[in-house]
Structure 1
Amino acid sequence: MSYPTIFTTPGVRAFAEEIDAERQRQLAKFGDQRHLDGTGGLFLANMAHVLRSECQEAADRGEVTWRQILMEECGEAFAETDPKALRTELLQVAAVCAAWIADLDSRA
């Protein structure tokens, strides 16, 4: 399907189309889902701190990995309880996934 060009970052249009296709598969299989967020609390806040520290230390050594970056972003999302801030964190998770996929695709 062809859509007007609305994405400016290379690879994001293809990523969005793949995400849309996956969402269609999920909707067909599970229907429209509603769940509790399950975020927040001391354990998840501590986990976010540990993941953030691990990522920063690796970055300082010049050895950061996509796994560390994604885990840091997921940890921050898991620790968040405010719906607006959680949405922002989840967008950051999605953006890191897009960047990681773009990196993988560039290796082919």
Structure 2
Amino acid sequence: MTAHHDRQARILADVKAERDAQDALFGVQDLPDGTGPEFVRQADKHREACDDAFQLNYGTYRHVLLEEVYEAMAETDPVKLRAELIQAIAVGVKWVEAIDRREGR
């Protein structure tokens, strides 16, 4: 296994541990999604900000993560919402990977 894959495995284990802690604290929860068309404007704003930032060579993980989160927030179709959430979570993992690389972990 490469250092990259080892790092991902550690991060995903951390995520699993956090999920286990959440379940222990709150139990299994079935909350409403709270997403919908009222977030389309914010999703568009964050998509444009992300595109602009990368075109001007100052894009950050913050730009990418917020774009993905707000795209999920604007979605009502469960299949598309799931896909958007997976993308947002993957960007979060990628960001943590970058932090760990910088920290030599």
Task: State the TM-score, normalized to the length of structure 2.
Answer: 0.91
Distance in 2 (CA, whole Å) between partners of 1:46 and 1:57 is 16
Residue number in structure 1 paired with 2:26: 30
Which residue number in structure 2 is paired with residue 74 of structure 1? 69
Tell me which residue corresponds to 2:93.
98
Name the counterpart of 1:44: 39
**Aligned-pair CA distance for 1:11:** 2.3
SS in 2 for 1:11: helix
Q: Which has the higher contact order (CA 8 A, sep 6+)?
A: 2
Runs of at least 5 residues in structure 2 that lack an aligned partner in the other structure: none
Q: Distance in 1 between matches of 2:93 and 2:10?
A: 10
Match of 1:64 in 2: 59
Aligned residues: 101
When normalised by structure 1's length, the TM-score is 0.88
